[in-house]
Each structure stands twice: as C-alpha cells, then as structure tokens.
Amino acid sequence: MAFINNIQRVIRKSNGNIVNFYVQDNSLYTREFVYNQGWNNPISMMENIKHNQVDIKIDNKDMLYGIANKTTGEMLYIFSNKNILNYNTLFRYDNNKYIIKYPYIEKRNNSIAIAYYFQELKNKKEWTIAFHFFDGIKWTHNHIYSIKAFPIINPFLLSIDNKCTNLFYFDSINGKEEIFIKRLSTTSKLWQSPIQLTFSNSQKLYLNILKEDSDIYHIAWSEFIDKNLVIRYVKGYFKDDKFIFSKVISLSEPSNCSFPTFVKTNKALWCIWVQMNKLFSSYSLDDGYTWSNPKVDKKSENCNFIRYHFSSNHHQDLENFKLSTIFGTRYPIMSFLGFKNIS
C-alpha cells in the first residue's frame, strides 16, 4: 500500500454530517455522509475544473463557501443557500496568456479574502501573488508581490486574524528557495516589507504552518540536505512588526520526507509527513521546544492514503483540534492517520 499524491476537501458541519469534495476527470464532485445514515451518492457540481484548483470551507453559520478555477479561464465563487450549493463567476481571464494556480479563500464575518498565483506565459520564471478583499461593501484588488520559481511553484499559506493578514511563501534567492513572510495591516491596508526566515541556500518544498491561540507560529518544510529531503522546523511570533524565531531544527532522518503537516490535539503538537510511502510522525508536549523520536504509523503500511484539506464547524473539532491539512484513508471508509490523543 502507498501514499497517493491526491488532495480532497473534507468539511464537517455542526450536526456531524461530512461533505467531501474532489476533482475527477476535470469535474468537481460532492458527496455527503449523513450522520447515522451513511454516504449519499456523489453529485457532479461542475465541469472543466482544474485539479487541485479548488478551495472550499465552512463558516460559523454552517454555510459552505469556496472558489474554483476552470480550465476555460474562469474563476468561480461557490456558496450554499438553504443547503443548496450554487456558484457564479467571479472573473474571467485569457488562459492563452495567463496561468492561475492555488486559489485560496477565507471568510471572516462579512469580509472575504481571495488570493492566488498568476503568471504571464511569456515569463515562466516569475509568479505574482494576487489578492482580492471584500469588506462587506466593496472589493479592493492588489498584486502584492512577484516571486521567482522554476520549474516548481510551491503553494503559499495565509494566516488571517483581526489585525493582520500574514503571508508565508517561498521565493528563489540565487536559485534556491527561502521562506519569507509578508504582513498586511487591517488598519492601514498596507503590505509591509518581506521578512526572510531562512538563509540555508538549499532547495525547499512543501511549506506548512499552524498558528496557536497564543499567536505562536509553527512552521515546517522539506529541505534538501546532502541530496536527501529532511523535515525542518522553526517556531516564532511577531513583535513590533518583527518575527522572533527559534533555531531551525530537523525532525526527521535524511530520506525522502515530504508534505509535513501539523495537527494540534489537546496537549500534543504533531508533525506528520510522508517517508518511503508511509506516514511518520513526531510530537511535542512543550509547544515545539522538544520533539519525540519519529515513529511510523503502522496503519499507513497497510492502506492507500491521501491528503485532505479539512474545515469544520463541529464543536468537538473546534474545541479539540487545530489543523488545515491531514492524511487519511479514502472513501468509503475515511479515517485520519498519523496522530492520536495523548492524555
């Protein structure tokens, strides 16, 4: 059995029902697990959808919302109304001239933030991160930053709170990826200068972050060291527009470690990753200061597993877990892997 590099969306409603979104043959499908009943048949929502070009979440009123990028050069806004999923066109673009990748959407109260990479096909080594903000009354747009990446562009990550929008991303310095952070003040509406977080001059992949309620950020990525991919970790926090961070450490052995993923469960902070087609994990009980020795999840040796983007409005999830992506088995028996509750 093995890791299948496929990503789907899983959403849990407040009543316990689970909605699964996935793209197959360029069609976006949805299916729902009804609590105490089981899975409904899948429904095709829309066609001509790019693989891994969908972001769907749930808000605190149990309303689904999302964004999807079509192969025909159209960005769609997805929303639920009386438990019925609808969509309309946000904008169109010339897909003979431009590429859009990794659309992201976040809704907070009446405001909406949308972000994505776009690239002019005539300049394949540079990508621009574009933002659209809706404050409940009007939209504002800005293209905040151009980054160098070729041939692989890694997804950016966003952490949005009431004070700032924090953007974490890779940029190429002397042909090697380094991690940067940019901040947008909610008050001034201005982006601050980028903060460089790493200086190792090594190729990096698969960025992941988790923000604590204490405003501490846990950051992990895969880094090439002596031709092996190693899981690297750092933690930090913002103070007076500076990012104060710890020493970078390795969580894994040198191997082919990829897709580091954070999960916070009560007392334990877990970092889970793929290594030799199996799941390995390490946990910390002191907010990332020290970590356990990595161990393989035996279940991952006997099943195929994929990655999920997870969003929930269920009280148990909101009270006991912090995560955005997670590994798990596939339909019809979906179960998350790589971590457990530690009392």
pLDDT tens for residues 151-160? 789 999 999 8
Of residues 169 and 267, more confidence is placed in 169
With contact defined as beta carbons under 8 Å apart, do 90 and 65 qualify? no
Q: How far apart are CA 85 and CA 45, in angstroms?
A: 8
Q: How far apart are CA 293 and CA 290, in angstroms?
A: 10
With contact defined as beta carbons under 8 Å apart, do 127 and 153 qualify? yes
Query: At residue 256, what are phi and psi to the nearest 5 degrees?
Result: -125, 55
Confidence of residue 240 (pLDDT cuts 50, 70, 90): confident
Q: How far apart are CA 334 and CA 343, in angstroms?
A: 24
With contact defined as beta carbons under 8 Å apart, do 336 and 270 qualify? no
Confidence of residue 145 (pLDDT cuts 50, 70, 90): confident
Would you say residue 187 has pLDDT above 80? no
Would you say residue 136 has pLDDT above 90? no
Mean pLDDT over 68-79 rounds to 96
Look up the pTM and report it: 0.95
Residue 61's CB is within 10 A of a number of other CB atoms, namely 8
Which single residue is written with the structure tokens 């793929």? 274
pLDDT of res. 150: 67
Mean pLDDT over 5-20 rounds to 96
36: phi > 0 → left, psi -120 to 50 → alpha, else beta; which?
left
Of residues 198 and 267, more confidence is placed in 198
Residue 203: which H helix or E strand, with range? none
Candidate from 34-48, 177-191, 204-218 with smallest mean pLDDT? 177-191
With contact defined as beta carbons under 8 Å apart, do 232 and 180 qualify? no
Would you say residue 47 has pLDDT above 80? yes
Would you say residue 198 has pLDDT above 80? yes
Burial environment of residue 248 by CB neighbours within 10 A (0 to 12, 13 to 18, 19 or more): middle
Task: Determine the residue type at 285.
Answer: L
Would you say residue 163 has pLDDT above 90? no
Mean pLDDT score across all residues of the chain: 93
Which single residue is written with the structure tokens 């709170």? 161
Q: How far apart are CA 11 and CA 312, in angstroms?
A: 6
For CA atoms 245, 269, 280, 278, give the dihedral sign.
Answer: negative
pLDDT of res. 232: 99
Mean pLDDT over 312-339 rounds to 96
- Each domain of the chain, given as residue ranges in start order, spans 202-343
Q: How far apart are CA 282 and CA 292, in angstroms?
A: 5
DSSP three-state, residue 241: coil
